Amino acid sequence: MKNLMFSALIAGICVAGPALAAQGNAEKGKEIYMKRCVWCHGEEGDGGGAAAERLNPPPRDFTSGLYKIKTTGREDMVPNDEDIFRMIKYGMPGNFEPGKQPMNPGGSAMPGWGDILSDQDIWDLVAVVKEFSEYTEEKPETQVDYGKQIPSSPESIEKGNKLFHEGERCTECHGEEGKGSAIKALKGDAGDRTWPRNLTKPWTFRGSNDPKDIFTRITTGIPGTQMPSFADPESKKSLSIEERWHVANYVNSLAKKDKVVNPSNTVIQAALLEGDLPMDPNDPQWDAAAQTTYYMVPQFIGKERHFTPANDTITVKAVFNEKDVALLLEWDDRTKSIPGDEMAIKVTDPDEVYEDAVAIQIPAVLPKGVQKPYFGMGDPSHPVNIWQWKAGTTESPETISLMNSTGFANIEKRDAAKAGIEVKSAYSHGTWKVVMKRPRTTGEADKDLQFEEGKFIPIAFAAWDGSNNETGSKHTMTTWYWLILKAPVGARPAMTAIFVAALIFGGLVWWARGAAIARKEEEAAA
Amino acid sequence: MVIAFVYAAFVITFDHILGALIPKSLLTMYMFFVVSGVFMVFTFDEEKTKELVAPIKALVEDPSKKMIRNLVFVIIPLGAAYLTYQSQLPSLEPPTEARAQHPAPPSTMKAFGKRFNLMTLENPLRKLQTEDPEAFKAHVKAGGEIYIQNCQYCHGDKLDGEGPFAPGVNPLPVNFQDVTTIAQLTESYLFWRIATGGPGLPKEATPWISAMPVWQNFLTEEEIWQVILFLFDYTGHKPRSWE
């Protein structure tokens, strides 16, 4: 009997535990809030902290009571307490939950706090956050109905693919290939510019790209943004539970597999090709070269700085022959920004459309020792060579320009044609591809890097999204990486290997033979 | 077996537990000593030597083990050939950039158009901590606001060096929570590092790759001292002093 009562007590505590914790102590939470959260979310919880203007997405305004990531039914404005708890503990995207994305330039600035705050601390914060809105007392009445989860399979993905495109259901904003390239100007509830999610970059998903999370977003929509609910029976784009699972599986399958950052991959290996190098970005000859992807971050070292990028990665391939070297630069850009272009001015104020652009930076002369030029456009004793492509306007075609610089303010404009630099670009469904080609040697060896085989050449990249206010010093960029023209292997390694193998084999045979002769002699002697 | 154990222990302790990769050359050197040591122990007297060598000798010389012998005779040269081939291929490993983490500061520095003596420089706001706690709190708050508008992108909301832009820069941003960073430094050292940024580093600290901006171009002298107060206040670390 006593035992039974004890068990009941334990069970009672277990059941009540989360509920008790969920109450949270707003008074204790306030102290934590004022130390950790106030900087972005503000003293009043209205998202008006000091950082607000330099963050996109902006910090959440708790007074609105609206939350983007929630699991309550679509009719319910208030989230579950657990939804707020999860966002605080794991961040957006979750930066330390096992298997989740770390903080990255494409993510939001909200980190996960679970490594320095206890669960009780976080429940206390949930209480604080809720008190900022007048809907504190409101309890959610409905929950997302998940039905029975349909596991991902080629059939399910194919069904999802159809539903995604049918009647422009999702492509209206997310584009044909899910890269968010459809031309629509979207705004968030704070009047902030929002971009439709590039669904091929799961590391930028605020609430993870697990099919269940995607299902939830499709079901509830993303409150405070123009992402609607697809569970609304009134909508002609509405989807059944089963259909939503198919779309979730399809969206999950869109994740880029090959164009993702691998931090240990710091070398671009240029492949040796026979014959002329391809100028067409879609030429199959590019398949011969390995591709490398790097993070791009906004330019924040020189005036004017940039804080709200629209792109976060660039993928590079390189090829060469005896005469030339060519690079293929590929990056996602939702908008083909060509000033004057009808499509471009649909999403951005016509006066604020600039040309899309991309640039590579290499030292003007290969450094002798370890010291490289300063990665931000070189330094007085180490000039850099910059090749910049610009998309052009409706009145002028695309351009390639060549500059040598020894710092932000010391730029010498040079003649790209004289150095033999050629360029060709292609834009398709939210992706730019640009090929730049130059002879390996030029007439000015003191001003243009001469490309030699087998040498590690420092290389860096920059890109401009002209529909995201990026022009001049406002752009995204990488730090230094390496380019190497892979020298042909030649016969030496193979010859040496054969020689070593023969030597060892000979030695072993000699030993065995010697032993056999000795044994025979012994036998003969016996 | 002993050798394999030592090797695994090295790799596990350093690479996985401590998270600091041992340079390959260093590991090779250590392993050379370990192997020779083990070899010496096992060949200490003649009997032991015989015991150790016997199976190898038997393999080569015993006619009943002919099959295994032939197999070994093929595998060993092939293995050696593979290793030789690999070592002869042109390397695709980029040159390493050895880098001093907290380089020695110069004795004086120039910033804001004046010269500062780093040996005697102190945070002019620090004394308010005891003299005027309210004013001190206001400076810490101002420092926090400057931090969140300028520094969190790399050094992180949690001051842990894991801001959203961190994976895009190299070297990685400093983690202020870590006890081996600002807890070991004076406020004047931080002032030097913030005011002159990456380009102000001495050569041994690779100033050409550091993404740390030159903050005297963006912040005032007082703002830098405020940020320094905030860094110590938030992390709970105490700055080092000369006494």
**Are B80 and A266 a contacting pair at CB < 8 A?**
no
Maximum mean pLDDT: which of A45-54, A417-426, A483-492: A417-426
What is the per-residue pLDDT for B19?
57
Residues of A in contact with B138 (CB under 8 A): none
Confidence class for position A341, pLDDT limits 50, 70, 90: confident
Residues of A in contact with B234 (CB under 8 A): 35
What is the per-residue pLDDT for A13?
44
Residue, of B233 and B59, whose pLDDT is higher = B233
The secondary structure of chain B as a DSSP string is -HHHHHHHHHHIIIIIIS--PPPHHHHHHHHHHHHHHHHHHHTSSHHHHHHHHHHHHHHHH-GGGHHHHHHHHHHHHHHHHHHHHHHHSPP-SPPP----SSPPPPSEEEETTEEEETTT---TTTTHHHH-HHHHHHHHHHHHHHHHHHTHHHH-TTSSS--TTGGGSSSPPP-TTSTTTGGGSBHHHHHHHHHHTGGGS-GGG-TTT-----GGGTS-HHHHHHHHHHHHHHH----B---
Answer whether B165 touches A (CB < 8 Å): yes
Residue with token string 């032939």: B70
Query: Please, are residues A200 and A177 in contact by the beta-carbon 8 Å criterion?
Result: yes
pLDDT digits (tens, 9 = 90+) for A77-98: 899 999 999 999 999 876 556 5
What average pLDDT does range A386-407 have in this prediction? 96
**Are B90 and A489 a contacting pair at CB < 8 A?**
yes
Least confident segment among A180-184, A316-320, B45-49, B120-124: B45-49
Alpha-carbon gap: A475 to the closest alpha carbon of chain B (Å): 14
pLDDT at A20 over 60: no
Cis peptide before A57 (omega within 30 of 0): yes
Q: At A173, phi and psi to the nearest 5? A: -110, -40
CB atoms closer than 10 angstroms to residue A516: 13
Which residue, among A400, A404, A403, has the nearest Cα to A417 in the 3D structure?
A400
Answer whether A6 touches B (CB < 8 Å): no
Least confident segment among A41-50, B2-11, B177-186: B2-11
Least confident segment among A170-174, A314-318, B11-15: B11-15
pLDDT digits (tens, 9 = 90+) for B96-110: 888 888 899 999 999
- Taking CA atoms, what residue in A is nearest to B172? A479
Answer whether B202 touches A (CB < 8 Å): no
Alpha-carbon gap: A505 to the closest alpha carbon of chain B (Å): 6
**pTM score of the predicted model:** 0.86
pLDDT at B229 over 50: yes
Q: What angle do CA B231, B103, B242 make, to 5 degrees?
A: 60
pLDDT digits (tens, 9 = 90+) for B137-173: 999 999 999 999 999 999 999 999 999 999 999 999 9
Residue with token string 């005027």: B132
What is the per-residue pLDDT for B243?
63
Answer whether B59 touches A (CB < 8 Å): no
Residues of A in contact with B207 (CB under 8 A): 374
Confidence class for position B14, pLDDT limits 50, 70, 90: low
Alpha-carbon gap: B112 to the closest alpha carbon of chain A (Å): 17
Least confident segment among A170-174, A287-291, B68-72: B68-72
Residue, of B220 and A56, whose pLDDT is higher = B220
In a mutational test of the B interface, the residue from A201, A381, A504 whose CB has the highest number of chain B CBs within 10 Å is A504
Confidence class for position B174, pLDDT limits 50, 70, 90: very high
What is the per-residue pLDDT for A11?
46
Q: At A438, phi and psi to the nearest 5? A: -150, 145
Tokens at A330, concatenated? 């590929």
pLDDT at A19 over 80: no
pLDDT digits (tens, 9 = 90+) for B104-135: 999 999 999 999 999 999 999 999 999 999 99
What average pLDDT does range A111-121 have in this prediction? 93
Residues of B in contact with A500 (CB under 8 A): 77, 80-81, 84
In a mutational test of the B interface, the residue from A479, A483, A499, A517 whose CB has the highest number of chain B CBs within 10 Å is A479
Residue A111: which of B73, B157, B169 has the nearest Cβ? B157
What average pLDDT does range A123-143 have in this prediction? 91
| Domains of chain B (ranges, CATH numbers) | 2-88 (no CATH), 108-235 (1.10.760.10)
Residue B166: which of A35, A51, A103 has the nearest Cβ? A103
